Structure 1
Amino acid sequence: MYGTRVVIMGSGIVGCACARELAMAGLEVTVVDRGSAASATTAHGEGNVLVSDKGPGPELELARLSRRLWPQVLAALAERSEHAARAVEWEPKGGIVVSTTDAGARELTRFADGQRSAGVRAEILDADALAQAEPYVTREHTAAVHYPEDAQVQPAAAATALLTDALAAGAALCTGREVLGAVTTGGRITGVRTSTGLLEADWFVNAAGPWAGELAGRLGVPLDVRPRRGDVLVTTPVPPMVFHKVYDADYVGAVGSSAEDLQTSAVVESTRGGSVLIGSSRRRVGFDDRLRPEVLSAVAAKALRLFPALAGVPVMRAYGGFRPYVPDHLPVIGADPGLPGLWHVGGHEGAGIGLSVGSARLLRELMLGQPIAMDPTPFRVDRPAVRGGATAPVNEETV
């Protein structure tokens, strides 16, 4: 496949991971983005690399594949640049899920039992063990489960490190270049029209995150990927008081919900700089990027129930971003059967940071006809949840 040209549309962490995999496999890769690298969804994430929030099924398989790959990718990166590897801030600190009601305890226990059956390490913590692991968490809890495989990265730095590896392997980066439409030859996409001219290639990868549905429409195919808004509070630096990623049992339900109204749950974790990140919220509001005080207040209230000691900690800022939402809550990875030459990698919602390296590996294996690490069928592009609710205005030229 040497000499095969690939254009990756989107330079968030998923696009950067795909660029790294394909460039290191010897393909001629160009990454194009209308903004700058890792500046949109990736820059507004928390950096989660989680298995704790996924029940048995294909997304959990992809999460476990990615969790195995992250240390390998970072070790290879460190051989080329120790500084870049350190900047990723890989922290396998583990996660703890806490319930505060009897119903929540029953659901958390059932959920953890199912995960253990799928190979996930999920350890029940009694009151003493929880107090030792998280001294500041509420004592008004009914159950707690420790997930030692959960980890965290600094998302923008992680994307930059993956992109750096791709560029070192020969990839090119074109920023400030918006994709406007497709050029097809014999029914196959052979180029994309951009704001600065035509880009031609053999394969094109849609890795545009929450904008993937809009981009697909510009290329003439339907793809039901929509934005879902999330907001995060950031405290001033404090002495160590949160030692794992800690969240309440409502979080899993919020992730899996398809409701359009506000969904909130308590998600609390520290950063190496000493700040505490407080989430989370989910809203279907299109690309409305306004911060809503009532949403931030609801997020803070749930966090205080989980960590009462945060009551006196100042919040220095808040930020939000858009997650790429798919109605059946599964990523989209594979070739577009309606437009040969076009591939999609996206729809990870809030899990794109963690799932990026596994998704990129699966894309490379599918593209190059290599043995695949897992069954890609559940992520196929032509499934009803992806094709059923989307329409695509034709915006292409035929030559």
Structure 2
Amino acid sequence: MRVVVLGAGIVGAACARELARAGLAVTVLDRGGPAAATTAHGEGNVLVSDKGPGPELELARMSRRLWEEALTEAGGRPDAGRAGRAERVEWDPKGGIVVATTDAGARGLEEFAAGQRAAGVTAETLDAPALAAAEPHVTRDFALAVHYPEDAQVQPVGAAAFLLGDALRAGAELRTGAEVLGAVARGGRITAVRTSAGTVEGDAFVNAAGPWSGAVAERLGAPVDVRPRRGEVLVTTPQPPTVFHKVYDADYVGAVGSGAEGLQASAVVESTRGGTILLGSSRRRVGFDDRIRPEVLSVIAGKALRLFPRLAGVPVMRAYGGFRPYVPDHLPVIGPDPRLPGLWHATGHEGAGIGLSVGTGRVLGDLLLGREPEIDAKPFRVDRPAVLFEGDDQ
């Protein structure tokens, strides 16, 4: 079977890896370069802490396990991530700490963490001495703190290159500079895509174009409601060891889950292997407007300072922003498109695509090959109300 993956970001790379390693003939198409768009503008989160009980948490937990398996297989050590091909991934199972700074936030966090514990997630309440030991520079003015040891971090572009490299070693082909323009269909089935670099034939086509998946699907004649949602991040100059986990305030889960178009912001603070500190995060629905807004950066900085007052005066050397693939019900879209046989989707992960990528590739591969996935894939189906536009056949 010939499979064409549309998109060379981390989700497309994960799908290509899974399918190529299963023995399929895989071609990956991208209008730019691999991991050059959304993947390059993320933080590298591999999280379970921000997902409540349900299908996305199940996908996250499976993905977390698959990341470690992939790195171990490549000769790396998941506990350090500094050997063999895995080194470029910069795997860091640092864990996450969620901090509530208000009584209302504490009540919400405690309820959220209780639900996660019931679903099998390790969520450990930290008292003041324990929080101070884990994060010496975090605020002491807090109402509740919860530690999630399963949270991890990767370097996004390195992680995508690792997955795509595995796909290429398994026989996949990468073609860049190929923008999807439309579909060629015969007998109601997609048999090829027309691109700016020519027509590419195949037996199956996987729409993994991230925030552009909606536009790609529309060009192919099977539109899905995947929209861009913008996020920004501030990057400090390299610092002495200051932040030891991924630390974020309890408002983060609400910001991610909000469907509001306006600015949703919360404090997310973490260090990188190079010593810089990443300060996030924001969510805005502004189409593909890529302008950096100083007022948004100001809000991000203010919220970060509330969690880490010691960061006051630390120089910020750059800011970046990117688009995340947003779906109104906040669930990924994984599976076949019933309106156009031969078309598959792997998109809609918003800001969780890095962490969910390998799990998505596994689920997509199982479905395409007629195998039963490890987790229930029905909640991610394409023909659900949040994904198809009104009037589409379901």
- Calculate the TM-score normalised by the size of structure 1: 0.96
Query: Can you list the C-alpha shifts for 1:260-298, whole angstroms capped at 9, x where unaligned?
Result: 000000000000000000000000000000000000000
Given that residues 223 and 390 in structure 1 are in contact (C-alpha distance below 8 angstroms), is that contact kept between their aligned partners in structure 2? Answer: no
Question: For 1:376 and 1:211, how far apart are their aligned partners in 2?
Answer: 23
* Map of 1:50 onto structure 2: 47
| 1:32 aligns to 2:29 (yes or no) | yes
Change in Cα spacing, 1:156 to 1:391, as seen in structure 2 (3 Å) is farther
Segments ≥4 residues shifted beyond 4 Å: 389-392
CA apart distance, 1:222? 1.6
1:17 aligned onto 2:24 = no
Q: Which residue of 2 aligns with 1:196?
A: 197
Of residues 294-303 and 363-372 in structure 1, the stretch that sits farther from structure 2 once superposed is 363-372
Unaligned runs of 5+ in 2: 77-81
Deviation for aligned residue 1:78: 2.4
CA contact (8 A) 1:42 1:156 kept: yes
Q: Is the 8 A contact 1:345 1:363 kept in 2?
A: yes
SS state of the match for residue 132, structure 1?
Answer: helix
For the 8 Å contact 1:217–1:391, the answer to whether it is kept is no
The RMSD of aligned alpha carbons is 1.3
The answer to whether the Cα contact below 8 Å between 2:17 and 2:164 also exists between their aligned partners in 1 is yes
> Which secondary structure does the structure 1 equivalent of 2:387 belong to?
helix
Match of 2:175 in 1: 174
The equivalent of 2:75 in structure 1 is: 78
Paired position in structure 2 for 1:397 = none
C-alpha separation in 2, matches of 1:29 and 1:137: 47
Q: Which residue of 2 aligns with 1:100?
A: 101
1:83 Cα deviation from its structure 2 partner: 4.0
Q: Match of 1:98, as an amino acid?
A: V
Q: Deviations over 1:66-123 (max 9, x none)?
A: 01111001112227x9542101000000000000000000000000000000000000
The equivalent residue for 1:147 is 148
Whole-Å separation in 2 of the counterparts to 1:50 and 1:244: 12
**Structure 1 residue 208, shift from structure 2 partner:** 0.1
One-letter amino acid of the counterpart of residue 168, structure 1: R
- Using the alignment, how far apart are the partners of 1:390 and 1:41 within structure 2? 30
Instruction: Tell me, in whole angstroms, the C-alpha distance in 1 between the residues paired with 2:392 and 2:236.
Output: 42
Letter in 2 for 1:303: A
The aligned residue for residue 354 of structure 1 is 355
User: In the aligned structure 2, how far is the partner of 1:389 from the partner of 1:140?
Assistant: 48
Aligned residues: 388
For residue 6 of structure 1, what is the amino acid of its counterpart?
A: V
Contact 1:224-1:389 within 8 A present in 2 as well: no
For residues 390 and 70 of structure 1, do their structure 2 counterparts lie closer, same or farther at Cα, with a shift above 3 Å needed?
A: farther
Separation of aligned partners in 1, 2:353 and 2:74: 20
Q: Give the 5 Å matches for 1:202-241.
A: 202-241=203-242
Verify the 8 A CA contact 2:235 2:276 in the aligned structure 1.
yes
Alpha-carbon distance in 2 for matches of 1:162, 1:26: 16
Q: Answer whether contact 2:137 2:242 (CA < 8 A) is retained.
A: yes
Find the aligned partners of 1:181 and 1:376 in 2 and give their Cα distance.
Answer: 28
Contact 2:74 2:84 in 1 (8 A): no
For the Cα contact (< 8 Å) 1:223–1:387, is it kept in 2? yes
Task: Tell me what 2:79 maps to.
Answer: none
Do 1:325 and 1:348's aligned partners in 2 also have CA atoms closer than 8 Å?
yes
Change (3 A) 1:229 1:390: farther
Q: Aligned partner of 2:239: which letter?
A: V
Alignment deviations for residues 325-360 of structure 1 (CA, whole Å, 9 cap, x no partner): 000000000000000000000100000000000000
- Separation in 2, partners of 1:84, 1:332: 30
Match of 2:141, SS state, is coil
In 1, the alpha carbon distance for the partners of 2:28 and 2:231 equals 26
The aligned counterpart of 1:6 is 3
Deviations 1:39-75 (A, max 9, x none): 0000000000000000000000000110111100111
Instruction: Give the structure-2-normalised TM-score.
Output: 0.97
**2:305 aligned residue:** 304
Aligned equivalent of 1:396: none
Q: Show the counterpart of 2:164.
A: 163
How far has the Cα of 1:391 moved from its partner?
Answer: 7.8
- In structure 2, how many angstroms separate the alpha carbons of the residues matched to 1:370 and 1:380? 16
SS where residue 312 of structure 2 aligns? helix
Task: Report what 2:62 is aligned to.
Answer: 65
C-alpha distance in 2 between matches for 1:389 and 1:272: 46
- 1:178 deviates by 0.6
- Find the aligned partners of 2:198 and 2:293 in 1 and give their Cα distance: 39
2:173 and 2:267 map into 1 onto residues whose CA distance is: 40
